[in-house]
Amino acid sequence: MDEEEFGFSRNYFLAKELGGSRKKSTQKISDINVVDEQELRAATANIEPKHEKEIEALINGYKSLYPKWVFELRCGFGLLMYGFGSKKSLIEDFASAALTEYSVVVINGYLQSINIKQVVIALAELLWDQLKAKRRNASGTLPKDQQPFNARSMDDLLAFLNGSEVDEKDCVICLVVHNIDGPGLRDSETQQYLAQLASCSHIRIVASVDHVNAPLLWDKKMVHTQFNWYWYHVPTFAPYKVEGLFFPLILAHGNTAQSAKTAAIVLQSLTPNAQGVFKILAEYQLSHPDEEGMPIDELYTISRERFLVSSQVTLNSHLTEFKDHELVKTRRHSDGQDCLYIPLATDALEKLLTEIS
C-alpha cells in the first residue's frame, strides 16, 4: 500500500513537472470567430415555441391560485416566485387581474442600476395620495406642514410607510419586483432596504428570483421576519426575452456598452494603483484624439508624480497586466518611440471611465 501511494505521489509530481515544461498555447478566446450579437439575438427570437398546449395548461393552473395568493398577501406574507422560465408575464397578469384593489409599483430588477431611494420616495408619495383621497372623502384632516418626501431620510420614509404617521391600515401598496436577485438590487444595502420595505405595514411584496444562489442574499431574520416569504415553484418555461436584453450573450461579439462593461470588470480586479495608471492613459487618449498614443516615458512621469509607481519596473508590471487582458496595446509613433493606446472607441472609453470612477 505504501509503495502504491509513493508511486502515485511520484507520478503526480512528475506529471506537474512535465506539464510546466510544455510550451504554452498562444491562442486566445478573442481569436474565436463568433457571431455578431444582433444576429444571434435575431436567431434566438425566431425559435419556434414548443409544447404550447402543455405550457398553457400549466399557466392556467397557476392562475387558479390567484385568490390564494391574494389571501396570503392580505395575511402579511410576501410571495416569492421561482422556477425555470421568465415569470414576468405571470406576475404582471396576477397584478392586473387580482390586485385591482391595490396600487401597484413595479421594479425591474434585471436592469443594471436602480435607485432604491427613488423607489421608496415613489411609494411614500403614492401612499400619501391615497391618504389624502381617503381623508377628503371622510372629511378628515392631514398635517399641513408635511415635509417633502425627497428631502427625507430613508429611515423617515420607511417609518412613514410603516404607519407611524398613518392610522388607516387598509391603505396598502403592492410592490412587484421582477428579479429581486438582479444586478441592480444584488448589493447588501439594497437588499436590507427591500427587507425593511417588505416589513412595513402598508407594503406587500411579490417578487421573482432566477439566480441559483439568490437565497444567499438574505439572513434568517430577513427571510422569516421581514420578507416573510411564501415560496412558490412556478416554472413557466417562457424565454427571458425582456430580461435577456440587458445581459451580454455568450459567444457573441459585443457592442460598445458591453466592451466597456467587460473592461470595467477586469479593471476592478486589479490594484488601485494599476487602475490609476489606466485612468491616466485613458484621460490622455480622450484629450488627444488625433495622436497615435501616449508615450511610455510620459505615462511613467505622470504616474510617478501621482505616486502610483515607484520605478519603471513597477510600471512595466502594470502594463504587462493590461496587455495580458488586452486592455492596452502598443504601436510605433512616427518619431520612432513606442506609444500606448486603449483599443476602445471614444464613447466606450468615456463609459469605462465612468464605470471605474
Quick: pLDDT tens for 274-304: 899 999 999 999 998 888 889 988 999 999 9
Q: In this predicted structure, what is the pLDDT of residue 48?
A: 86
**pTM greater than 0.85:** no
How many Å apart are CA 254 and CA 348, to the nearest integer? 12
Mean pLDDT, all residues of the chain: 83
Q: Residue 303: count other Cβ atoms within 10 Å of its Cβ.
A: 21
Model confidence at 8: pLDDT above 80 = no
Rounded to 5°, the CA angle 343-346-352 comes to 80
Model confidence at 250: pLDDT above 70 = no
Residues 6+ apart with CB under 8 A from 207: 78, 79, 80, 81, 176, 177, 178, 180
Q: In this predicted structure, what is the pLDDT of residue 10?
A: 65
Here the cell at position 226 is 421581514
Model confidence at 121: pLDDT above 70 = yes
Mean pLDDT confidence for 187-199: 93
Model confidence at 253: pLDDT above 60 = no
